[in-house]
Amino acid sequence: MDWEKMEERLLTLLNTCKHSELRGALMMLNEVDIARFMETLDREKLLLTFRVLPKDISADVFAYMSPEQKQTLIESIGDNEIRSLIEDMFLDDAVDFLEELPANVVKRVLQNTSEEKRNLINQFLRYPENSAGSLMTIEYLELKSGLTVREAMEVIRKTGLDKETIYTLYIIDDARRLIGILPLRTLILSQDDVKIDDIMDVNPISVKTLDDQEKVAETVREYDLMTMPVVDNENRLVGIITADDVMDVIEEENTEDFEKMAALTPSEEEYLKTSPWQLAKNRLPWLLIMATVAIFTGMIITNYEDLLSASAMGIVLTACIPMLMDTGGNCGSQASTLVIRGIALGEIEFKDLGKALWKEIRVGLIVGGILAVFTFARVYLVNHGSIPVCFIVASALFCTVILAKSLGCILPLTAKKLGFDPALMASPLITTIVDMASLTIYFTIATTIMRMNGL
């Protein structure tokens, strides 16, 4: 489909008030594409297009619209339309929508919602933000233990139309405790008189209502699930989390980690919709912290000022400082990136610190050795350094690479153990720490060798 031509046709139908044809053209599109088209419309045309949509799909389209457009629509439509819209939305979509609105708009929406749905929404809104309870939906199919396949199919036919998903069925006992799960495929392919208890999986994977959304995403990835049941402290089934919500969590968590790895305060707003002041506010704290820490780097250099200015040797040593610091920072960032990724995927835990450290040390020995030989030759041929100077730079680089690789492994795992986000120990912070360590190593080796050679 040529989207530009389709968008042009829709706009033509909208501008010429051919509402019937516009409705037909919109019905040919997926709900996501309809919401995408509506992103380009102003307030008046947005409202008109939304009202052209059939009632049975308007709620689905609404769920894919941007928060700003949702708020615009809610402020533009009448109370009866709000009531119809909220009633047709799946509960988890309605909760997510309300969490994005100002308090006064939320109040109006809830006032125009049925008492039953309002009570459910309020119950979900009480769960902590980013918890499993705040993500779950109650539109799932549950079956009572003891039913036959035939009886279960009858339940699905009667109640399945209003459920968000029916591909996984949840088996509960009389106390609503989750005792098993049953894929729809297994149910369909079984004989009618077979008990569902005999074909269900009796070891269901579940999460608690107060579990963090990151744990939910990790569990879904680890067990390759399409839906995740949510239970309370007594193992009673209270909801499920669907794959689309898990994908949103993964995207949100990955974005947050990337921002932290770049020394940014995480933001939930889109980049182009975030004001320069807010972007500056998100970036400034860590920049101030690292600028403060960098003072110590300057103090180290100042402390060895006599060494650097004493002779021609000091000029060569000074010229090699940027190369040494950059290489150390890059090596530390490489190690920390891989370790943080391993932690995120559940491949590395704190108990694996020894194994991971030993691996990085071996990598450091190989990489450091090769870089040291290359650096020795470069300083000798390009900078015309003496043999002692070449040895100082090469040996300092060798030690710095090993140290940087080790810190890149140790710091993220230690942060995770202490309850901090490992992403905090990424490129900018690692680089700053390695800079100080590399200079200390550099000048210690230089001082020692120069004294040994009477320089």
326-329 LR contacts (CB < 8 Å, sep 24+): 327/371, 327/397, 327/400, 327/401, 328/397, 328/400, 328/401, 328/403, 328/404, 328/431, 328/434, 328/435, 328/437, 328/438, 329/404, 329/427, 329/430, 329/431, 329/434, 329/435
Residue 172 confidence (pLDDT): 94
On whether both 122 and 150 belong to a single domain, the answer is no
On whether both 284 and 234 belong to a single domain, the answer is no
Residue 259 confidence (pLDDT): 62
On whether both 95 and 185 belong to a single domain, the answer is no
Q: Provide the CATH number for the domain around residue 51.
A: 1.25.60.10
Tens digit of each residue's pLDDT (9 = 90 or more) over 195-227: 999 999 999 999 999 998 888 888 888 888 889
Q: Which domain does 227 fall in, by range?
A: 142-242
Is 247 among the domain residues? no
Is 175 among the domain residues? yes
60 or 297: which carries more pLDDT confidence?
60
- Length of the chain in terms of residues written: 455
**Contact criterion met (CB below 8 Å) for 49 and 65:** no
Q: Provide the CATH number for the domain around residue 227.
A: 3.10.580.10
On whether both 79 and 181 belong to a single domain, the answer is no
Return the closest-CA partner of residue 364 out of 408, 322, 326, 403.
403
The answer on pLDDT for 320 being more than 80 is: yes
Is 87 among the domain residues? yes
What whole-number distance in Å separates Cα of residue 229 and Cα of residue 132? 10
- How many structural domains does the chain have? 3
Using CB atoms within 10 A of its CB, is residue 202 exposed (0-12), middle (13-18) or buried (19+)? exposed
Tens digit of each residue's pLDDT (9 = 90 or more) over 244-272: 888 888 777 767 666 665 555 555 566 56
24 or 79: which carries more pLDDT confidence?
24
What whole-number distance in Å separates Cα of residue 335 and Cα of residue 409? 6
Tens digit of each residue's pLDDT (9 = 90 or more) over 348-380: 888 999 999 999 999 999 999 999 999 999 888
On whether both 418 and 280 belong to a single domain, the answer is yes
On whether both 100 and 170 belong to a single domain, the answer is no
The answer on pLDDT for 384 being more than 90 is: no
On whether both 311 and 234 belong to a single domain, the answer is no
Is 253 among the domain residues? no
On whether both 328 and 230 belong to a single domain, the answer is no
On whether both 331 and 435 belong to a single domain, the answer is yes
**Contact criterion met (CB below 8 Å) for 327 and 378:** no
On whether both 292 and 394 belong to a single domain, the answer is yes
> In the listed set 126, 153, 171, which residue is the last one of a domain according to the structure?
126
Residue 257 confidence (pLDDT): 66
Tokens, residue 448: 């020692």
Residue 311 confidence (pLDDT): 57
Is 133 among the domain residues? no
On whether both 116 and 211 belong to a single domain, the answer is no
- Quick one: average pLDDT of 106-129? 79
> In the listed set 64, 96, 126, which residue is the last one of a domain according to the structure?
126
